[in-house]
Amino acid sequence: MRLKFTKMHGLGNDFVMVDAITQRVKLSPEKIRALGDRHTGIGCDQILVVEAPRNPDMDFRYRIYNADGSEVENCGNGARCFARFVRDRRLTSKDSILVETAAGILQLNVQDRDQVSVDMGAPILEPQEIPFDADIQAETYPLDVGGEVYNVGAVSMGNPHAVLLVEDVDTAPVDALGAAIECHPRFPQKVNVGFLQIEDRTRARLRVFERGVGETRACGTGACAAMVSARLRDLVDEELQIQLPGGTLTIHWPGPGEPVTMTGPATAVYHGQIVL
């Protein structure tokens, strides 16, 4: 199979974008892993497959796969790249795009200077829906990891996130602790782990250990979850600039029951084709 693709990134979180509307695409987990391999394939954090919508009121549907072959529900940086991809490939001329995902419907708004704003929907805080093993909903939960207890926020932005407050993200044990929490039995579908440093009520820094990927340069849903967790603790205002290793995202959230809006860049790197 000869597959046309576009390599893109959102703040360094990189993607292989595949148009499954104008070409026939059949990707097994093995082929997804081959595409994602940084040594023998194209190399990426995730593969995004663009499909025709099932719902006639939607513009597109897309599916998201980690480089290890597993399918996931949502990806904020991927959503922004998706919006620019369908515009750049002339699959649509709309500035406002409605998309079906495994996590529900997203509204994407293409702005100037490669900026895309995404309505990520309202965060899910009920433990059973995240999913997270807890009896009642709370701002934070004690989590025993190897005999040491950490207070974490638990939020779903269509995919599960644990958020830890740290004094300094540069010295936080992201790899070791992130891997331990990712597979914690209280998160039955595993979890993305955010390490959040609050600078003031409008600025923060974040590193994210992504489920099935490891630490990435940016995580859009992770930034949204971090904002929600911090705001529930009354640590930040309703608009927050979050600096990730790859750059800065602007996150806006008025409060419970309201949607989270994320704004940031999406960049095309190159187009190509590969034989699988």
User: What Å distances lie between residue 88 and 21, 126, 134, 173, CA to CA?
Assistant: 14, 38, 44, 39
Residue with tokens 């540069």: 170
Structure tokens at 15: 């993607």
Which DSSP string corresponds to 206-255? EEEEETTTEEES--HHHHHHHHHHHHHTT-S-SEEEEEETTEEEEEE--S
Catalytic pick among 44, 75, 81, 224: 75
DSSP β-bridge partners for residue 47: 16, 65
For the chain, state the CA radius of gyration: 18
75 is catalytic: yes
Structure tokens at 74: 């949502």
224 is catalytic: no
Could you tell me the sign of the dihedral formed by the alpha carbons of 77, 81, 84, 87, in that order? negative
Which residue among the candidates 44, 81, 183, 219 is catalytic per the annotation? Answer: 219
* CA separation for the pair 154, 28 (Å, rounded): 32
User: What would the two tokens of residue 25 be?
Assistant: 């695409």
Q: Which residues are catalytic?
A: 75, 219
